Amino acid sequence: MGNDLSYKDKKVITIGIVRDLTGLSERQIRYYEERKLIFPERSAGGSRKFSFSDVELLMEIANKIEDGIQTHDIRKEMIRDQKKQNQEDVRRKMIQGQLNAQFGVRKK
């Protein structure tokens, strides 16, 4: 299959549904997008499309804002977490490559 995305990561939910699921206003959702905390895709007509993962992230963001954390601090935390994840991914691939080389496994 050409599309390897999990159902949670497919961008298929409109902003109105996201509003209903999260209790956030469309204005808040757009603001979080402006602050580069959330990255919806756009349909051919320009409508925002969100995933279930985006909905979960919006709820986390809203909870942090409610706890008094500023959006720029949330963004810094997100960047730090992404860098850490990228480093873990590289490390995992390096270890897998070493194991494959050690045991003569070839990738198809």
- In three-state form (DSSP H/G/I as H, E/B as E, the rest C), the secondary structure along 43-93 is CCCCCEEECHHHHHHHHHHHHHHHCCCCHHHHHHHHHHHHHHHHHHHHHHH
User: In a structure prediction context, what are the per-residue pLDDT tens digits for the chain, which is 108 residues long?
Assistant: 446 778 899 999 999 999 999 999 999 999 999 999 999 999 999 999 999 999 999 999 999 999 999 999 999 999 999 999 999 999 999 999 888 888 887 766
CATH architecture of 1-69: Orthogonal Bundle (1.10)
Tell me how far CA of residue 67 lies from CA of 61, 74, 79, in angstroms.
Answer: 10, 11, 20
**Global pTM value:** 0.77
